[in-house]
Amino acid sequence: IGDSNKGSLITSGTKKRPDGRAFDELRPLKIEAGVLERADGSSYVEIGDNKVLAAVYGPRELHVRRLLKPNMAILRCRYNMAPFSVEDRKRPGPDRRSVEISKITAEALNPAVFLEKFPRSTIDISIEVLQAEGGTRCAGITAASVALADAGIPMRDMVAACAAGKADGQVVMDLSEWEDKEGEADLPIAMMPRTGDITLLQMDGHLTSDEFEKALDLAIKGCKIISEEQKNAIKNRYGD
Ligand code: CDP
């Protein structure tokens, strides 16, 4: 256990994971801002074998009257998996899962954006999963935040997302696809590290309350590491 864990709830975790990671280790992470010429903002995220693109259009005037909010912008998200992103070809188009992930992504990002600065407008976010390896909703939220920042949209903080969970009896950070499928529980979260506000918390599977505390602690730790990389991506694009 590294020094960084002193004083935290995390005390277990000596078993190596199938991919050789320690219990509190992220997969290799790469974040790039401004990768698409024609979007207002964009980013590309790789975490492990996940490859995710996010593009932002807007803010721009919204002409759909029933959606329009007179005093603020609305945030619309579309999460999409490419047919070639998963082992069994994914049938193109939305399905229950992608509709759910689109909705929770918008909800995770909403509290971060100063929507009141853009009345009667829409900010549209497209998330394209090019390759999936477990944790694509988190990679998508992380990518979307960088794309929003790249578009120059004012935010309280960039939202970072990371899952923790339980696999092979051990509470671990950032589940791989195998750990997600074979494991006992998955706890994806999104947060604004600057304020500490958690904007998404989902849970699949079973954890004791002690394990839940440990997993939440690990997911928050993961978000903080990811947040630093998000800031580096923006710095690399625009300088300090
Ligand atoms: O991707 P995330 O963990 O946020 O969502 P999930 O529904 O828990 O899916 C876990 C993983 O299963 C994905 O990341 C993909 O690697 C895989 N998957 C798949 O192989 N085929 C699908 N149609 C959906 C997901």
Establish whether residue 49 lines the binding site of ligand 1, counting it when its CB lies within 6 angstroms of any ligand atom. Answer: no
State the architecture of 28-235 in CATH terms. Answer: 2-Layer Sandwich (3.30)
Q: Using an 8 Å Cβ cutoff, are 165 and 172 in contact?
A: yes
Cα 177 to middle of ligand 1, angstroms? 7
Q: What is the ipTM of this complex?
A: 0.99
Establish whether residue 96 lines the binding site of ligand 1, counting it when its CB lies within 6 angstroms of any ligand atom. Answer: no
Residue ranges in the chain assigned as alpha helix (H): 96-109, 136-150, 177-182, 209-238
**Residue among 46, 86, 99, 141 whose CB has most ligand 1 atoms within 8 A, to mutate:** 86
**pLDDT one digit per residue (tens) for the chain, 240 residues:** 344 444 444 455 578 899 999 999 999 999 999 999 999 999 999 999 999 999 999 999 999 999 999 999 999 999 999 999 999 999 999 999 999 999 999 999 999 999 999 999 999 999 999 999 999 999 999 999 999 999 999 999 999 999 999 999 999 999 999 999 999 999 999 999 999 999 999 999 999 999 999 999 999 999 999 999 999 999 999 986
Cα 176 to middle of ligand 1, angstroms? 10
At residue 12, the pLDDT reads: 56
Closest atom of ligand 1 relative to the 133 alpha carbon = 16
